[in-house]
Amino acid sequence: MTVCVNPMNAPISATLELAQQALSAGLSRVTDDYRPDYHLAPPAGWMNDPNGVVYFRGEYHVFYQHHPFDAKWGPMYWGHAKSADLVHWQHLPIALAPGDDFDRDGCFSGSAVVCGDTLALIYTGHTWLGEVGDERQIRQVQCLATSVDGIRFVKQGVVIETAPQDTIMHFRDPKVWKDNDYWYLIAGARLGDTPLLPLYRSTDLRAWEFLDYVARGNEGDGYMWECPDLFRLDGRDVLLYSPQGMRPEGYERLNKYQTGYRVGQLDSQWHFSGDPFIELDNGHDFYAAQTLVAADGRRLVWAWLDMWESPMPSQAHHWCGMLGLPRELQLHADRLRVFPARELTALRKAPLPHTSAWVGPGYEWVPQVNGDRLELHVHLDLLGCAEGHLGIALRCSAEGDEQTLLYYDASLQRLVLDRSRSGAQVSGQRSVAIDHAQKSLHLRVFLDRSSIEVFEQDGRFSLSSRVYPRPDSLGVKLLASGAGGRVSIGNAWPLASAWL
């Protein structure tokens, strides 16, 4: 029988108190121009990876990498929010703070699991052995913290002291799950410039046995695989991870780093073999994805809706970083399909009235549909569209100097998300191939104040990117630059706030 740690409640540490005070002080300086209204974002300060996503006592908890003292990356804390319905969220006190010998310079990413009546966080304790920022001299260990109320956590110390090989320094991002009588833990590791995924097993979350490396990288696979996740879906094993160091090829892997997956099988010797790596999202900003099993058995996923070394104008507004929408994963043959969580329909207000279709070259404003927090259903009829562009312009300014374009490029046979005029600092295109035999595209588009997320109706692809237009750039236009094809907005809703 699994034995879980069940500590007495302990007072909040002085470090946590200082972090909460800094967060409260930061709230008075925050500017809301770019702040999302129905996505998870920090109250103030910095956010990156989702650390632990878990269902505990009837509520969803999302933890995240957080620096409450500044809108820039720094010593990592664990921020915390919860929701009863995946739609409406409440900020909770910061869960973890660095400062002990084993996590002096950061409580890095990890995961959360429910063990009996205890909520357990498994995370990487990070220490700089040389100068801060010198990744050639670091120590990373795997640590445990527990809570009986899901709010106040007590550190239990280091549970995996060293990596499987002494020469491994980069050893982080533990993801833990239970299968029958055992807990399993997969982490990311780096040996020289070779990525490795070590797998461990435990009966109590404290003593861990190294089993083997689930997978290791080959030439062209990058040098480090961060935030690994291994789960079963419809009888297949899915290995989800975020590689660093993969080179762009054509339209693929254009971001600094990627998040993607391989579908295959974990054999009895703990080795994973499967299909080639596929990016999970094709936009500019999607990283460090992590999954959980929902209350009804669905596999959900969250990711950081930003990218390292990308423009982050909200830093000047004393906050930075947001998570993407919760998404449902389904497996069809050897590909994952991605859908917005079905609960998100609860955000819809009264639908916006509009004319449902428009045909012809040029562009046309849709005056009844405008805003910075919208869900739109966009239909592209590709029949006869053999040249030019067919699509929609969003977050348009009245003067036309700002707009975010989403269109089908007939010559390339690709759906393109174009940020060339999407506001402060951002630029560039991302796209996804469209089968030449496809006669139509049905898209669900979610706009928040500084983000756009596009989902193909049948889950075949998504495009997620940050945009930073002026607050008054709210217009919507339909556009067609060639002969043939039609575009329409089938439905449109303004969306409510998710914050309680």
Residue partners of 477: CB distance under 8 A and separation at least 6: 363, 364, 365, 366, 392, 393, 396, 403
> Where residue 22 falls among pLDDT bands split at 50, 70, 90?
very high
Residue partners of 400: CB distance under 8 A and separation at least 6: none
Instruction: Yes or no: say if 71 and 320 are a contact pair by the CB < 8 Å rule.
Output: yes
Which residues sit opposite 158 in a β-bridge? 143
Going from the N-terminus, what domains does the chain have, and what CATH number goes with each?
14-344 (2.115.10.20), 348-494 (2.60.120.560)
Alpha-carbon distances of 413 from 70, 139, 158, 282, 434, rounded to whole Å: 43, 48, 52, 15, 6
Q: What is the chain's mean pLDDT, rounded?
A: 95
DSSP state of 472: T
Residue partners of 308: CB distance under 8 A and separation at least 6: 256, 257, 287
Arithmetic mean of pLDDT, 202-214: 98
Whether the per-residue pLDDT at 487 is higher than 90: the answer is yes
- Alpha carbon distance 422, 255 (integer Å): 17
Arithmetic mean of pLDDT, 212-233: 97
At residue 211, what is the residue type? L
At residue 167, what is the residue type? T
Whether the per-residue pLDDT at 6 is higher than 60: the answer is no
Catalytic residue among 33, 49, 267, 285: 49
Please give the pLDDT value at position 358.
62
Which residue bears the tokens 């946590």? 16
DSSP state of 164: S
Tens digit of each residue's pLDDT (9 = 90 or more) over 47-69:
999 999 999 999 999 999 999 99
Please give the pLDDT value at position 18.
94
Residue 161's CB is within 10 A of a number of other CB atoms, namely 11
Whether the per-residue pLDDT at 151 is higher than 60: the answer is yes
Helix and strand counts by DSSP (H, E) for the chain: 1, 33
How many residues are present in the chain?
500
Whether the per-residue pLDDT at 10 is higher than 50: the answer is no
Active site residue 49: yes
Arithmetic mean of pLDDT, 302-325: 98
Give the residue from 344, 400, 401 showing the smallest Cα distance to 373: 344
Percent of residues, the chain, with pLDDT higher than 90: 91
Whether the per-residue pLDDT at 5 is higher than 50: the answer is no
Give the residue from 385, 446, 419, 439 showing the smallest Cα distance to 38: 446
Residue partners of 1: CB distance under 8 A and separation at least 6: none
Whether the per-residue pLDDT at 7 is higher than 80: the answer is no
- Confidence (pTM): 0.96
Which residue bears the tokens 């797998």? 199
- Alpha carbon distance 388, 390 (integer Å): 7
Alpha-carbon distances of 491 from 116, 236, 374, 458, rounded to whole Å: 45, 36, 10, 17
Tens digit of each residue's pLDDT (9 = 90 or more) over 94-134:
999 999 999 999 999 999 999 999 999 999 999 999 998 88
Please give the pLDDT value at position 8.
35
Please give the pLDDT value at position 1.
39
Alpha-carbon distances of 155 from 63, 141, 274, rounded to whole Å: 16, 14, 37
Whether the per-residue pLDDT at 24 is higher than 90: the answer is yes
Which residues sit opposite 61 in a β-bridge? 54, 82
- Token pair belonging to 425: 């600092």
Please give the pLDDT value at position 361.
72
> Where residue 355 falls among pLDDT bands split at 50, 70, 90?
low
Tens digit of each residue's pLDDT (9 = 90 or more) over 415-435:
999 999 999 999 999 999 999
Please give the pLDDT value at position 194.
97
> Where residue 14 falls among pLDDT bands split at 50, 70, 90?
confident
Instruction: Yes or no: say if 12 and 99 are a contact pair by the CB < 8 Å rule.
Output: no
Instruction: Yes or no: say if 126 and 137 are a contact pair by the CB < 8 Å rule.
Output: no
Tens digit of each residue's pLDDT (9 = 90 or more) over 234-255:
999 999 999 999 999 999 999 9
Instruction: Yes or no: say if 5 and 156 are a contact pair by the CB < 8 Å rule.
Output: yes
End-to-end CA distance of the chain: 39
Alpha-carbon distances of 288 from 128, 142, 266, 293, 311, rounded to whole Å: 22, 18, 22, 17, 18
Residue partners of 180: CB distance under 8 A and separation at least 6: none
What are the E-state strand segments in 351-494?
362-365, 374-381, 389-396, 403-409, 414-421, 429-433, 440-448, 451-456, 462-466, 475-480, 486-494
> Where residue 484 falls among pLDDT bands split at 50, 70, 90?
confident
DSSP, collapsed to helix, strand or coil, labels residue 41 as coil
Arithmetic mean of pLDDT, 356-372: 82
Q: Residue 239: what are its φ and ψ, rounded to 5°?
A: -105, 110
- Alpha-carbon radius of gyration of the chain: 23
